Amino acid sequence: MSRLILIRPEHRRAVIAAGPLGTRGRPGDAGRGIESVSVGADGHLTVTYSDETTEDAGAIPGPRPPETDPEFTYTDGRVSRIDYASGAYKTFTYTEGRLTRLDYVVSSTTLRKTFTYSVDGTLAAITQEEV
């Protein structure tokens, strides 16, 4: 089974189709071709054309590539911030020695996880929201 990535710049998305490839078509007119396609740390598909122009074809659905080159900051012996090469970062908030909030900031989007604890100190719930 082969996979084919269909790039639809006019719709700003890529579609991955699985199945057998058909027969080779006739050559088209000479023009702009695709030299390369890559997915950046931000999860966006970048197309580089034969005329040396590039286009951001939008975010690819699904999990993002892992963040790279983390730089850790510690406060009072606990990790308080992690900065990544992509510009994304995470901040950690503690109350009475317990992690109570984790903010993950990518571009202008913040994904917040809030941790609540039972009276006995065990983790009771984790909630997540975009703020």
Full-prediction pTM beyond 0.85?
no
Quick: pLDDT tens for 97-127: 999 999 999 988 999 999 999 998 888 999 9
Q: Which residues pair with 83 in a beta bridge?
A: 71, 89
41 and 89 fall within a common domain: no
- CA angle, 38 then 44 then 47, to 5°: 45
DSSP per residue over 51-71, as a string?
Answer: TS-EEEEEEPSSPPPPP-S-E
Per the CB < 8 A criterion, the answer to whether 53 and 47 are in contact is: no
64 belongs to a structural domain: no
Cα–Cα dist 126/118, whole Å: 12
Quick: pLDDT tens for 11-69: 444 444 455 666 777 776 677 777 777 877 677 788 888 888 888 888 777 666 667 88
50 and 83 fall within a common domain: no
65 belongs to a structural domain: no
Specify the 3-state DSSP secondary structure of 16. Answer: strand
Please give the residue range of the domain that contains residue 50: 2-21+32-59
